[in-house]
Amino acid sequence: MRAIDRYTAPDAPLAFDRAGILTAARFLGQAVALADRLPDRAFAVNLCADRRSFMSGFVAAMIRRQTTLLPGDTAPETLALLAARYPSSHYLYDDPLPLPDGATATRIDPAADAADRDPADAPAFDPAFV
C-alpha cells in the first residue's frame, strides 16, 4: 500500500496555490523531490514562514527520517544555540535569513520544486516516528 493511500485519496484537494488546486498526490510528489535535495543530517531546523513551504519541508524531512526542530524565533542567537546543540542539523528556509557560519541550508520554493515525483516513491511513515 502506498503511503498516500493510507491517509487520503490521491486526488483530494490539500491546498490552493498559483497553479490552482494542489492535490495530495502532487504535494507528496513534490515533497519526495524536495527530500532528494536534503543533505544527509539527523536534524532539520524548519525556519519557513510560508505554510506550504513549512509543510513541504516537514514532510520531506520525515521522508528522510530527520527530526524537525522548530525554534521559537529566528534570532541569530537562537540559531547559533541550535547549531551548537545539534551539530548534525541543516536549515530549511523560504525567506533569506542570517544563518550561523558554515550552516548547510536548503531553500524551499514550492513553485520551483515543480519536478514532481511519483507519490508512490514516498515511504509509509512509521507511526512511532511521527
Query: What residue has cell string 515533497?
Result: 31
pLDDT at position 1, please? Answer: 42
Q: What is the pTM of this model?
A: 0.83
Per-residue CA distances from 80 to 76, 85, 89, 91, 104 (Å):
6, 9, 11, 12, 13
pLDDT tens-digit profile of 61-106?
A: 999 999 999 999 999 999 999 999 999 999 999 988 888 888 899 9
Are the beta carbons of 23 and 12 closer than 8 angstroms? yes
Summary count for the chain: helices (H), strands (E):
3, 6
pLDDT at position 52, please? Answer: 85
pLDDT at position 47, please? Answer: 96
- Comparing 3 with 94, the larger pLDDT belongs to 94
Across residues 48-61, what is the average pLDDT? 91
Q: Are strands 67-69 and 105-107 parallel, antiparallel or unpaired?
A: unpaired
